Amino acid sequence: MQTYSGGGGSASEQQLVLMHPDGKGTSDVVLTVPADSSLSIRACFSEADEKKRAGICHDEYNMAATLSLSGGGAMPDVHLEVESTHYPRGVSRDRDSLAMPPLKKRDQVWETDKACTYKRDFHFDAGQNRYVTDKPLPDACSFDQG
């Protein structure tokens, strides 16, 4: 697990639940995927750091996901689209921001995180009683994991 000095974050997930019309009120979670997340990590620890970072003293990471349904039938296919961004340009949770060159004006923009921006299609597998995908979600992109 990674630890950070200062900052904060949040993460939420979305679930699809299969409700059984058996009169007993039973249900099964058949899909759990990310919904959204945000993370702010302190990046300045001195006046020199603040100068090097052009006054931007937190790295910011955001993710938003959208679910949509397609096809007919009792269990339609599910399409997941995830967009992840970070600020300023070039930062990464896997690297020390202070090891980067000094920030310039051109770095003071939100940048798409291509490794964590993705699409997945899910179909219902009756044998497993859940939605499955042929390609797993990228582990390194979860904000609720170290």
User: What tens digit of pLDDT does each residue of 15-31 get?
Assistant: 999 887 776 767 889 99
b (16+ CB within 10 A) / e for 16-51 = bebeeeeeeeeeeebbebbbbbebbbebbeeeeeee
Q: Before 88, cis peptide (omega within 30)?
A: yes
Tally of CB atoms within 10 A around 81: 13
Q: Domain residues of the chain, as ranges?
A: 7-141
pLDDT one digit per residue (tens) for the chain, 146 residues: 454 567 889 999 999 998 877 767 678 899 999 999 999 998 999 999 999 999 999 999 999 999 999 987 789 999 999 999 999 999 988 888 888 999 999 999 999 999 899 999 999 999 999 999 989 888 777 665 44
Q: What is the pLDDT of residues 64-77, one digit of tens each?
A: 999 999 987 789 99
Tally of CB atoms within 10 A around 75: 16
Q: Is the pTM of the predicted complex or chain greater than 0.85? A: no
Tell me the percentage of the chain whose pLDDT exceeds 90.
Answer: 65
Q: Are strands 7-19 and 111-112 parallel, antiparallel or unpaired?
A: unpaired
Return all residues near 105 (Cβ < 8 A) that are at least 6 apart.
Answer: 54
Q: What is the pLDDT of residue 82?
A: 96
Q: How many residues does the chain have?
A: 146
Q: What is the pLDDT of residue 146?
A: 40
